[in-house]
């Protein structure tokens, strides 16, 4: 492909990423709050001022407005600019890494869901099912597309099972075992179901080696960054505040009503065999029993979202997303380094 053509599509990828990032800002704010993504249009959350076209240009409008609402002059969160810039750069990197093909489009779509999950989980400690389901569908669709076109690494397992579904089942099982282990050792939920579903999507998207690398990188980054944040919070707090937090923490955990081992197993089996996905599809098809079940689950989820995290609670979803991106761009190099150092290469 000529250099000028590559440059043209690289610019298109960056601009399209910024536009998608602008939409993701809407998703991050509205989806966990149960608001429509389409109506009303973009507006200031403080004064309700409807944004004009000139006030809604990705990246540029934030800078021209000086990070403030044009009407009420209330500060606009830097997150809006960060999401747009990060998505734009990521789309550009995918284009450079994979080239102009279906794989680039799929990874851009998949990563859009992960970016939204990152910021929602960071703020609210939840990952909406809609994002996990969308990411899972993209992963399976890409795998099936490659299998139909005979791409290497996407042949059917045992002649009938798509690799993506097999990978999803393996890593869902792995995370369920982590849930069980945490419940048995610490008597509390060590990982949320949203994290398990996100692991399922990542396991479906990446080859098994890269998926394993992404989860190792997630754990490593969570231990380093998350642990550092907790340590900083404790050092910054006064001794009395620390004692108060430690006193309140068990009460918060008690109010959470941790899942029993039976519940973890039952829900885990549902996630491993995609039962929750099947029920959700049935609900979208307006099958009454499935719709009633989803409504009950949504009500229960809303009650769980009232959880107020303590200073030692860390959302794992953002680190899983970080591990995924690191694995995509550096996973093969890290695996090769490990194989050489271990003598297995």
Q: In b/e form, how buried is each residue of 292-326, taking b as 16+ CB within 10 angstroms?
A: ebbeeeeeeeeeeeebeeebeebbbbbbbbbbbbb
CB contact at 8 A, 210 and 181: no
**Range with lowest mean pLDDT among 125-134, 141-150, 178-187:** 178-187
Query: For the segment 66-124, what is each residue's pLDDT rounded down to a tens digit?
Result: 999 999 999 999 999 999 999 999 999 999 999 999 999 999 999 999 999 999 999 99
Task: Tell me the pTM.
Answer: 0.91
Rounded to an integer, the average pLDDT of 120-129 is 94
Q: In this structure, how many other beta carbons lie within 10 angstroms of the beta carbon of residue 186? A: 11
Q: What's the pLDDT at 319?
A: 96
């Amino acid at each position: 492909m000529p250099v000028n053509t590559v440059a043209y599509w690289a610019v298109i990828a960056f601009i399209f990423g910024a536009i998608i990032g602008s939409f993701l800002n809407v998703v991050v704010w509205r989806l966990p709050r149960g608001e429509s993504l389409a109506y009303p249009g973009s507006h200031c959350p403080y004064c309700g001022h409807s944004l004009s076209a000139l006030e809604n240009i990705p990246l540029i409008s934030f800078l021209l407005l000086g990070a403030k609402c044009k009407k009420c002059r209330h500060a606009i969160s830097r997150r809006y600019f960060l999401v747009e810039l990060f998505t734009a750069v990521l789309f550009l990197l995918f284009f450079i890494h994979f080239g102009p093909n279906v794989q680039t489009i799929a990874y851009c779509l998949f990563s859009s869901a992960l970016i939204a999950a990152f910021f929602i989980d960071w703020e609210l400690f939840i990952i909406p099912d809609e994002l996990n389901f969308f990411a899972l569908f993209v992963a399976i669709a890409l795998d099936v597309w490659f299998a139909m076109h005979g791409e290497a690494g996407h042949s059917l397992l045992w002649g009938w099972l798509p690799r993506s579904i097999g990978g999803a089942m393996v890593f869902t099982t792995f995370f369920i075992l982590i849930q069980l282990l945490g419940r048995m050792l610490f008597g509390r939920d060590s990982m949320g179901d949203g994290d398990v579903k996100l692991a399922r999507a990542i396991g479906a998207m990446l080859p098994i080696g890269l998926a394993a690398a992404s989860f190792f990188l997630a754990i490593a980054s969570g231990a380093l960054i998350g642990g550092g944040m907790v340590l900083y919070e404790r050092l910054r707090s006064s001794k009395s505040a620390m004692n108060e937090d430690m006193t309140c923490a068990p009460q918060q955990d008690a109010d959470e009503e941790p899942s029993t081992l039976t519940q973890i197993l039952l829900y885990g089996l549902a996630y491993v065999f995609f039962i929750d996905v099947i029920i959700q599809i049935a609900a979208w098809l307006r099958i009454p029993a499935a719709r009633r079940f989803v409504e009950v689950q949504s009500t229960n989820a809303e009650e769980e979202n009232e959880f107020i995290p303590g200073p030692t609670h860390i959302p794992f979803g953002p680190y899983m997303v970080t591990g995924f991106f690191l694995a995509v761009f550096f996973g093969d190099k890290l695996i090769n380094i490990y194989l050489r150092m271990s003598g297995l290469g």
